[in-house]
Structure 1
Amino acid sequence: MFNVFVRRALSSDLSKIVKVINDAKKLIKGSGSPQWQDGQPSKSVLEEDLKLGRGYVLVVNGEVVGYTALMQSNDPHYDVIQEGSWVNTTDKYATLHRVSIADGYRGKHLSDFMISNLFTIGYGLGFRNFRIDTHEMNKGMQHISLKFGFEYRGIIYVGSKEDDRRLAYELNM
């Protein structure tokens, strides 16, 4: 039997979430990308996600195997977009951050299930505009974004270094 669902993350999930994030960091490093190789997302960032109720876990047969933060407030990194523009600048938007799946669970299309469920949650909260970003070397996240109908909008920066450059995507429902 295959039992899979998404739920709000609990503080008791923290050690499992850290493992999922660390697995994703290894995967990203293996692709040569500097994304997530500076210690972020850190345990304190994940604790803040849980405290603010924006962390969600993917559970498969009772095991936490995926994690995503569904940000429900404007992300200041998205205020300035270069080499493009946002299509929807009037409606509130939700942002998906820290999309990750544990080792041993990739290749099973579980990120599809997780993101689809986060859209359902976000839609139920009144969001019709979703955003996501990723490093230009993170081809997996770019593929997933386009697969879900996100459209490339331009470049944002999540910090002051050139490695903090991200491809930004938007989806309007």
Structure 2
Amino acid sequence: MFNVFVRKAQSDDLEQIIKVINDAKSLIKGTGSPQWQDGEPSRAVLEEDLRVGRGYVLMVNGDLVGYTCLMQTDDPHYEVIQDGSWNNTTDKYATLHRVAIGDGYRGKHLSDFLMSNMFTIGYGLGFRNFRIDTHEMNKGMQHVSEKLGFKYRGIIYVGPKEDDRRVAYELNM
């Protein structure tokens, strides 16, 4: 039997979450993208996700195989958007960050499952507006986002360097 579900991450999940994130860092590095190659997301960032209760894990047959963060506060990086605009600027929004699936579990559409479950969780928390961003070279994340209904909205920066440039998406329900 194939047992798949999403649950809130717990502090004792941290080492396995770090492994999943490191697997994703290796995958991204293999594409030539500089995203996640500067040490982020760091252990401290992941610990903060767990401390404030915004981390979620994807479980498959008892194994932790995926991770994401559902940020329920405004993301300061989204205040300025270039070459486009947000569709919904009045309602609160939730942001999906750090979407990662571990080695051996890619190609099974588990990121779709993880993200759709995050929409369910976010919807239950009152969100009807979701945002996500990724590096321009991260075609896999762009594909998943678009397949799930996110619309391209423009360019944001997560830092001062040109490598900090991200394509930004929004999903309004």
Using the size of structure 2 for normalisation, the TM-score is: 1.00
Mapped to 2, the partners of 1:101 and 1:145 lie a distance apart of 14
Report the Cα offset of residue 84 of structure 1. 0.4
Aligned pairs for 1:28-107 (under 5 A) are 28-107=28-107
| Alignment gaps of 5+ in structure 2 | none
Give the letter aligned to residue 141 of structure 2: M
Report the Cα offset of residue 163 of structure 1. 0.1
In structure 1, what is the equivalent of residue 151 of structure 2? 151
Give the letter aligned to residue 50 of structure 1: L
Q: Residue 170 of structure 1: SS of its match in structure 2?
A: strand
Report the Cα offset of residue 86 of structure 1. 0.3
Give the letter aligned to residue 40 of structure 1: E
Report the Cα offset of residue 102 of structure 1. 0.2
Report the Cα offset of residue 91 of structure 1. 0.2
Percentage of identical aligned residues: 81
Report the Cα offset of residue 37 of structure 1. 0.1
What CA deviation, in whole Å up to 9, does each residue of 1:5-49 have, x standing for no partner? 000000000000000000000000000000000000000000000
Using the size of structure 1 for normalisation, the TM-score is: 1.00
In structure 2, what is the equivalent of residue 15 of structure 1? 15
Report the Cα offset of residue 168 of structure 1. 0.2
What CA deviation, in whole Å up to 9, does each residue of 1:111-142 have, x standing for no partner? 11100100000000000000000000000000
What CA deviation, in whole Å up to 9, does each residue of 1:21-78 have, x standing for no partner? 0000000000000000000000000000000100000000101000000000000000
In structure 2, what is the equivalent of residue 4 of structure 1? 4
Report the Cα offset of residue 95 of structure 1. 0.2
In structure 2, what is the equivalent of residue 126 of structure 1? 126
Superposed CA RMSD in Å reads 0.3
Mapped to 1, the partners of 2:51 and 2:69 lie a distance apart of 12
Report the Cα offset of residue 152 of structure 1. 0.3
